[in-house]
Homo-oligomer: A and B are copies of this chain.
Amino acid sequence: MALKKRILIHDIARHLEVSIATVSLVLNGKAQESRISAALAQRVLSYVEEVGYKPNQLAKSLRTGKTHTIGLVVEDITNPFFAAVAGLIERKILAQGYRILYCSTNNDPVKTRDQLALFEEQHVDGYILALPGGVEAEIQALVRRGKPLVLFDRSLPGIQANTVVVDGAAGMYAGTQHLLAQGFRSVALVTLQTSQAHMVARRQGYSQALQEQYLPELVLEIDYEQAPEAIIERMQAFFQEHATCDAVLFTTNYLGVHGLEALRNLNRRIPEQLAVVCFDDNDLFRLYSPPITVVAQPLEALTESVISTLLTALTGSGEFSPPTQLQLAPNLVVRQSTIHPLRAGSS
């Protein structure tokens, strides 16, 4: 029943009849440079191991300013893309002894600002960020103060910071070209009504492909704030209004999911009546009937780049170095949703 009193560095020192400094130096790997004998260091280490002493991280953090904590900010942890990113980041960074604080922004700059402030109060060592617009000033301040951070998925206009993004323009260009090559001629885009960099790029890839063929654009912009039901209804109205449209690209996975539901409600056959491409892959697209052609993001490479960039900044010499800016190539995965049985190869 007796609560074991938490053991302190002081207890270790007293038991070994050495000074607190000695214990601390050994524990922090500074035995050599402090000219502590290997034998003594070993004695300390094995006793610490024996009694299971763990330094109080709070005290350590207060003293050193390091918390070994990373703040992960995503748009929405329930979105399969961000969940996958979170999972991969976790796997890669926990092994380095870091912990992860996370939060979802839901693209709300006010909420994001609050959360960034909380992370800062908590003294996170570094940040991994997929941000909404409207927090440029806060991020600029972090950059200026030399905080290790990396933006991913989307960059922030006017901010010079480590960034790892997927080339949305190239991806959507490839997707649109693929549709055109399959003989589709009235190609719509369903995207978000936003000026965020990644969405702008994806739309631009679509536009460019159409312009090169002198084909008109047909764009539906969805308000992120809306409830799923409203989004689905909006899409249904759009597809009914534009009945001659024979192909559509969705710029995010959840727009794609809602789009499939809208098309199912309308009984549109894919790809006979409407070909479908989505940016970003997931189980649903892969197993849907018909399987959906996607512009897949390189999740493994993306997270690997994010982590290595962050670790470099974290362990950096502290001196200024130019930000790393990476743009990764997505991968067009052609499935049946864009292979028109009658038109295939007719381009």
Contacts and interface: CB of A to CB of B under 8 A. Distances in A.
Q: Give the number of times this chain occurs in the complex, counting copies.
A: 2
Interface stretch (A26-34, A53-61, A190-198, A322-330): A53-61
B145 A3 contact: yes
Interface string A286-298: 0111000000000
A62 B58 contact: yes
Nearest to A98: B118
Given A261-B287, A287-B264, A67 B78 contact: no
Interface in A32-54: 54
A103 interface: yes
Contacts of A54: 117, 120-121
Interface string A85-101: 01100110010000111
A61 B69 CA distance: 15
Contact of A283 (B62, B69, B86, B284): B284
Contact of A67 (B58, B94, B260, B289): B58
A87 B78 CA distance: 6
A271 interface: no
Nearest to A285: B284
Interface in A229-265: 257, 260-261, 264
Given A78-B84, A100-B101, A287-B260, A57 B122 contact: yes
Pairs of residues from A and B, 7 with the lowest C-beta to C-beta distance, nearest first? A78-B87, A289-B289, A83-B83, A284-B284, A58-B62, A57-B121, A78-B83
9 contacts: A58-B58, A58-B61, A58-B62, A58-B67, A76-B87, A77-B86, A86-B102, A91-B104, A289-B289
Given A94-B103, A287-B288, 5 more contacts: A58-B62, A77-B87, A78-B83, A83-B83, A102-B102
